[in-house]
Amino acid sequence: MAAQPFWKRKTLAQMTTDEWESLCDGCAKCCLQKLEDEDSGDVFYTRVVCQYLSDSCRCTVYQERQQKVPNCVWLKPEDVDQFFWLPSTCAYRLIAEGEDLPEWHPLRAYDSQRIHAVDASVLHLDPVRDNEVPEEDWEDYIIDNV
């Protein structure tokens, strides 16, 4: 019997940096600008993406992202209890909730482009860059399903 993959054997806190990074499926949904209702705390996704997101759903300033975009969220294992705002398909959230990775995830499909073929990335949302839309208009770009 083959050994279980690392994401089934380890908690997020037990993973190496490389394992942690490999969980990212490249959907770029965490790069969508979000709006929070101050009264309810509900989080609403928009189809407005960070200006540094490439057309292949990768951050063009990944190593400098905290300096370039101070409010860019840096996912860390110690913050797992705050992952509720991540999309339901996000590997970090799924692992934190005891779920398995979807079939199209690059670690299961052995294909980093599969996510785009099944419309699980932001590419199918017709994204617009945050430096092209005033923040006060982001509400006009709220989407229902992420």
Q: What is the DSSP letter of 117?
A: H
pLDDT digits (tens, 9 = 90+) for 8-28: 999 999 999 999 999 999 999
Count of structural domains, the chain: 1
With respect to residue 54, please indicate whether it lies within any of the assigned structural domains.
yes
Contact criterion met (CB below 8 Å) for 138 and 46:
yes
Residue 63 main-chain phi, psi, to 5 deg: -70, -25
With respect to residue 47, please indicate whether it lies within any of the assigned structural domains.
yes
Whether 133 has a pLDDT exceeding 60, the answer reads yes
Q: Report the C-alpha gap between 9 and 65 in whole angstroms.
A: 30
pLDDT digits (tens, 9 = 90+) for 33-49: 999 999 998 889 999 99
Whether 146 has a pLDDT exceeding 90, the answer reads no
- Distance in angstroms between the alpha carbons of the first and the last residue of the chain: 36
Confidence of residue 78 (pLDDT cuts 50, 70, 90): confident
With respect to residue 1, please indicate whether it lies within any of the assigned structural domains.
no
Confidence of residue 1 (pLDDT cuts 50, 70, 90): low
With respect to residue 74, please indicate whether it lies within any of the assigned structural domains.
yes
Q: What is the DSSP letter of 125?
A: G
What's the domain range around 68?
Answer: 6-141
